[in-house]
A = this chain, B = another copy of it.
């Protein structure tokens, strides 16, 4: 319970770091899905569709270090949540526009929809 991972305090969250953390398809997919999931926390294991355990661990650490998500150990799992409030207070409107943009843009957001097919190339 006193096993917390390092998270930047809200006033240390830096825009270039946030932007470059989000400038990766895998990480963008992760935060889009976290956002779609509302307040419910998710685990690393739920993102294995996007890469190996090692890769997900790496990307999750990037997102945490940039201040975009919060990671709380619970048993052998990690509970991931978006730092919505912190991001909103530091960069008002930013995260919402990114989330909204991913909905219109990212292949991963169409998982299971008929439109999913057209994203083979490019």
A94 CB within 8 Å of chain B: yes
Report yes or no: B15 in contact with A102, Cβ–Cβ below 8 A: yes
User: In the bound complex, what is the Cα–Cα distance between A106 and B18 (angstroms)?
Assistant: 13
Report yes or no: B97 in contact with A15, Cβ–Cβ below 8 A: no
Count of residues in A whose CB is under 8 Å from the partner chain: 26
A103 to chain B, nearest CB (A): 10
Specify the main secondary structure of chain A where it touches its partner.
helix
Set of chain B residues within 8 Å of A97, measured between Cβ atoms:
91-94, 97
Set of chain B residues within 8 Å of A98, measured between Cβ atoms:
15, 19, 94
Quick one: which of A16-30 are within 8 Å of B by CB?
16-25, 28
Set of chain B residues within 8 Å of A101, measured between Cβ atoms:
15, 90-92, 94
